[in-house]
Structure 1
Amino acid sequence: MIKEETMHWREYNKKVILSKYLSILVGNFLCAMALILFLRPGQMIGGGVGGISVLLNTVFGIPLGVSVLLFNLPLMVLSLKVLDRNFILYSTLSMFIFSLYMSLFDFLASYIHITDDVLLSCVFGSILNGAGMGIMFRNGTCQGGLDVVAALTKKLYGINISKVLLGVNGVIITISGFVFSFNRAMYTLIGLFIAYQVLDRIQMGVGQMKQIFIMTNMSKPIARSIMKELHRGVTYLKGTGAYSNQDMDIIYCIVDNHEFVQVRKIVDSIDPEAFMTISETVEVKGRGFSHIQV
């Protein structure tokens, strides 16, 4: 039994490590492509080390891949004794991969032109950037750079990570306003908003489910219909009406977005007086529900 559990844990560990490496490769690819082929041609930047690299390249002509390394290497050295070794390992690998991708797309930019429309560049570049970050965050990796800065300040000074990222990105965007124009800096703000929306969607899970509570005296026929027609599990929760003082079985179930309409029809057909609440869930794991690994 112990041997089986050990083997299962090793297999699980291999899958986790593989997903981390794949997320670093795919996530950084999308981020670099977004920055070089979409945002930079529109004189916009992304947040973080990618945005800093674009600014340094524009003002001083420093190659993008080199500036990524110059910014990240000192941070990695400083964090060696403070942060978790695995975090540093994945961050360092991610830094080198991102640097390579930035150099690659910088070279390809001479041959690839996608659009002159600033709004299209902003929207599609930000979607790709957010998707890349979301893929990495969902699998427990990051791009290095500002994520390491935020982790260090959190560890050493207890400052909230989101506040650090917000403050530093605010400075980067302000500088970009002087380098390019404040019109483009405002586009950058819109782009960051889009990117973080996409990031949240991917990190929390695409395709939110509906959580349903049904208070009714006809719980058994309703539950049977849901299980028969939708093939979804149903849980009974014990409850008592405060006004009626009657005991009842409260139905609790999770369904897909397109299934809750059918649940409502089932409830209305059996007990039109039933009290029902429907809310969105962030993530559902378990039998019958796929756990999205991007």
Structure 2
Amino acid sequence: MKKNFKSFFIIFIGALLVAMGTYFFLAPNHIAAGGISGAAIIINSIFPILPIGALMMAMEVILFITGILIIGPVFGGKTIFCSFSVSGIILLLEKFFPNVRPLSNDMLVQLIFGVLICGVGMAIVFDQDASTGGTDIIAKIINKYFKISIGKCVLIADIIITVAASIVFGIDKGMYAILGVILNATLIDTVIRNLNTYKQVAIISNSGEEIKDYIVDTLDRSATIYYAKGAYNNNEREVITTVVNRKQFLKLKDYIKDIDERAFITVNEVNEVLGEGFAEIA
């Protein structure tokens, strides 16, 4: 229950970022940088009477059903929560901050800020095995069957909307939209890669038993023990290896420093860890 609450809370934070990036930076400049939000911006520019948030909600239904059927109910449930969170937040922003205008005359700067905020939010959502809905569901389906990185899948799914943006808003804004989609795809892959970076740690210490207990009992991680012979004096030593996240590594390093300053530690960054205690093997 606690784990599910944490996951939904993280998804909500991602949704909040996507909504703010879209409403304050992309929408006022008519930058339709892909996604359902981009499609909603295009339609809203043609029919201003139709609110962006309401349009986003209306366009989600078919894609929701598709995502649930193809990817599964857990993904579908999280995606529904995220998508309606984004749409609902935008509706609230439209109520409390109506008629938002571009924050500056520099469209490129606003594009970059909008994509940065939205891209980080989307990456957070994807990392929780969800999506913001709309074309992101299509991206997730492509990712599932073709094993292409999620950022590239988003790029594939959004390219049609950027072409439409070029037709509706002109080639200049269309080119901005294409640039935004490319930046967004790159940022999503980068953020997800960093969110899933772990530390593979090998430790040689005279306090091996204490370190093993700390890893298992305090960090709630396992460890592998093997023995190696040193080339300098031919002594056989115990080597403790484990994989931990960044926060756990800092705790482990501080603990080892407190009990054995002469410990020998090697650290490697691991971009993906699959199996028990980590991501499932897909």
Structure 1 residues 191-237: Cα deviation after superposition (integer angstroms, max 9, x where no partner): 443354334434x2xxx6654447xxxx556x68x97xxx9899753
Question: 2 CA distance for matches of 1:165 and 1:98?
Answer: 17
**Which ranges in structure 2 are unaligned for 5 or more consecutive residues?**
217-222, 274-282
After TM superposition, the structure 1 = structure 2 runs for residues 1-294 of structure 1, keeping only pairs within 5 Å, are 14-61=1-48, 62-78=50-66, 81-107=69-95, 108-110=97-99, 114-151=103-140, 158-160=145-147, 162=150, 164-178=153-167, 179-180=169-170, 181=172, 182-188=174-180, 189-202=182-195, 204=196, 210-213=199-202, 219-220=204-205, 237-239=226-228, 248-250=237-239, 252=241, 255-256=249-250, 278-282=267-271
Q: In structure 1, the residue corresponding to 2:130 is in which secondary structure?
A: coil
Structure 1 residues 21-64: Cα deviation after superposition (integer angstroms, max 9, x where no partner): 32343322210110110123344334322222222223444431
Over 3 Å counting, the alpha-carbon distance change for 1:154 and 1:99 in structure 2 is same
Q: In structure 2, the residue corresponding to 1:239 is in which secondary structure?
A: strand
TM-score by length of 2: 0.65
Which amino acid letter does the alignment assign opposite residue 138 of structure 1? D
Question: 2 CA distance for matches of 1:124 and 1:66?
Answer: 24
Which amino acid letter does the alignment assign opposite residue 198 of structure 1? V
Structure 1 residues 161-208: Cα deviation after superposition (integer angstroms, max 9, x where no partner): 646533222333333344342541354123443354334434x2xxx6
Which amino acid letter does the alignment assign opposite residue 133 of structure 2? G
Q: CA offset at residue 143 of structure 1?
A: 1.5
Over 3 Å counting, the alpha-carbon distance change for 1:282 and 1:164 in structure 2 is closer
Structure 1 residues 264-293: Cα deviation after superposition (integer angstroms, max 9, x where no partner): xx99xx79xx9x854224489xxxxxxxxx
Residue pair 1:65, 1:102 contacting (<8 A) in 2 also: yes
Q: In structure 2, the residue corresponding to 1:238 is in which secondary structure?
A: strand
Question: 2 CA distance for matches of 1:151 and 1:193?
Answer: 16
Question: 1 CA distance for matches of 2:205 and 2:6?
Answer: 43
Over 3 Å counting, the alpha-carbon distance change for 1:174 and 1:43 in structure 2 is same
Q: CA offset at residue 82 of structure 1?
A: 4.5
TM-score by length of 1: 0.63
Residue pair 1:30, 1:129 contacting (<8 A) in 2 also: yes
Residue pair 1:126, 1:195 contacting (<8 A) in 2 also: no
Aligned length: 248
Q: CA RMSD in A?
A: 4.2
Which residue pairs with 2:276 in the alignment?
none
Question: 1 CA distance for matches of 2:120 and 2:184?
Answer: 13
Q: CA offset at residue 159 of structure 1?
A: 4.1
Over 3 Å counting, the alpha-carbon distance change for 1:22 and 1:165 in structure 2 is same
Q: In structure 2, the residue corresponding to 1:144 is in which secondary structure?
A: coil
Q: CA offset at residue 132 of structure 1?
A: 1.9
Which residue pairs with 2:220 in the alignment?
none
Which amino acid letter does the alignment assign opposite residue 177 of structure 2? A
Over 3 Å counting, the alpha-carbon distance change for 1:91 and 1:252 in structure 2 is closer
Q: In structure 2, the residue corresponding to 1:256 is in which secondary structure?
A: helix
Q: In structure 2, the residue corresponding to 1:198 is in which secondary structure?
A: helix
Identity %: 22
Which residue pairs with 1:3 in the alignment?
none
Question: 1 CA distance for matches of 2:200 and 2:119?
Answer: 27
